[in-house]
């Protein structure tokens, strides 16, 4: 599995478990290792001392420790083996995540026939309590179907549907992380098995319009997205899409107004309002956009205040529309608008 682990733990009863074994069997990149051993804390420090990385407690309640490799996305988790490898694997979610590989010998232990399910493309629960023990597994089951092209067996799907009301219980950050990995088909499957509505989402015809995880979140959850712990960038993105309105036409003026309301996400916003045919016009406007304004606010000769911003916006719009192109024309327009503002 990993030569570094063999070097350090050849005399220990340590096992690589979970997703690392699954991904290796599937021929997928292995970025995260999960090592079940008798003494996780010293094991984590020993690994970090030898191969580098920062060590910190992953779960004080469970006694788990994590090593984050320097300059790498790789993590190595060390968890207590407790009452033995059988007890550890019995707590896992799905059979293909309940396969263990002994660090010293390389022997594989597969008490739930997870390798057979990998070959058959089946998501199968280890126990009948799998979703009650950790409701996040409801989303993980659908995400594994989606990512791997697998399907739940009938028993597992029945268990999932019976526990669907628990789907909103996990922490929002964990829910969001799972949702962010779903494709459009994954959301449709989420809806099919009764998990989408309890989360406050619904299917939308625009779901397939753009292959982007953030776009899918916006169209599926709409204003309900604010109930999830999204980032500030995601809040701004969602707000830009929600305030987007169909441009009146493809004229430079209309494109400028649309961009002013939605940039830097104007092209996504066009898809959102069903005007994908105007993407080229937006891209052209971006390429031709001037790098410097014709005039600045302190050059208008009027008192600072909201009117300055409105006049500068009007100047920018007329410039984009092609009605003015020089500083003198901009100042003349500003004088006219200032009079109108004061009347």
pLDDT of residue 340: 81
For 162-180, write each residue's pLDDT tens digit.
999 999 999 999 999 999 9
pLDDT for residue 70 is more than 80: no
Both structure tokens of 137: 């597994």
- Give the pTM: 0.87
- DSSP labels, 98-149: S-EEETTT--EE-TT-HHHHHHHTEE-BSSTTHHHH-THHHHHHHHHHHHHT
Taken in order of first residue, the domains within the chain and their CATH numbers are 1-120 (3.30.460.10), 244-288 (no CATH), 297-342 (no CATH)
Cα separation, 261 vs 241, whole angstroms: 9
pLDDT of residue 105: 87
**How many CB atoms are located within 10 Å of the residue 162 CB?**
13
- Give residue 342's pLDDT band: very low, low, confident or very high (50, 70, 90): low
Nearest by Cα to 201 from 212, 193, 191, 209: 191
**How many CB atoms are located within 10 Å of the residue 264 CB?**
11
Cα separation, 6 vs 2, whole angstroms: 7
Q: Could you tell me which residues come within 8 angstroms of residue 150 by beta carbon, excluding any fewer than 6 positions away?
A: 121, 122, 123, 144
pLDDT for residue 336 is more than 70: yes
For 269-309, write each residue's pLDDT tens digit.
999 999 999 999 999 999 999 999 999 988 888 888 888 98
pLDDT for residue 343 is more than 60: no
């Amino acid at each position: 599995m990993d030569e570094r682990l063999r070097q350090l733990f050849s005399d220990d009863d340590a096992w690589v478990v979970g997703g690392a074994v699954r991904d290796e069997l599937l021929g997928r990149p292995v970025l995260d290792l999960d090592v079940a051993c008798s003494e996780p804390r010293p094991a984590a420090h020993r690994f970090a001392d030898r191969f580098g990385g920062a060590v910190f407690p992953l779960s004080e309640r469970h006694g788990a420790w994590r090593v984050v490799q320097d300059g790498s996305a790789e993590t190595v988790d060390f968890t207590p083996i407790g009452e033995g490898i059988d007890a550890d694997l019995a707590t896992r979610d799905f059979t293909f995540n309940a396969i263990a590989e002994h660090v010293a010998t390389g022997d594989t232990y597969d008490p739930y026939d997870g390798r057979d399910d990998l070959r058959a493309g089946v998501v199968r629960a280890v126990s009948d309590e799998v979703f009650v023990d950790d409701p996040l597994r409801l989303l993980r089951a659908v995400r594994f179907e989606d990512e791997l092209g697998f399907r739940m067996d009938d028993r597992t799907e029945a268990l999932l549907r019976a526990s669907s009301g628990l789907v909103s219980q996990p922490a929002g950050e964990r829910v969001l992380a799972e949702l962010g990995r779903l494709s459009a088909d994954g959301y449709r499957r989420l809806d099919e098995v009764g998990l989408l509505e309890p989360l406050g989402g619904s299917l939308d015809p625009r779901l397939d319009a753009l292959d982007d995880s953030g776009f899918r979140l916006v169209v599926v959850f709409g204003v309900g997205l604010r109930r999830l712990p999204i980032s500030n960038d995601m809040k701004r993105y969602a707000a830009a899409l929600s305030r987007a309105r169909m441009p009146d036409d493809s004229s430079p003026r209309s494109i400028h107004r649309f961009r002013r309301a939605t940039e830097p996400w104007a092209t996504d916003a066009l898809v959102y309002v069903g005007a994908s045919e105007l993407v080229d016009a937006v891209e052209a406007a971006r390429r031709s956009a001037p790098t410097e304004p014709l005039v600045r606010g302190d050059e208008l000769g009027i008192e600072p205040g909201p009117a300055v911003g409105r006049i500068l916006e009007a100047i920018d719009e007329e410039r984009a529309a092609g009605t003015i192109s020089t500083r003198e024309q901009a100042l003349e327009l500003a004088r006219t608008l200032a009079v109108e503002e004061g009347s």
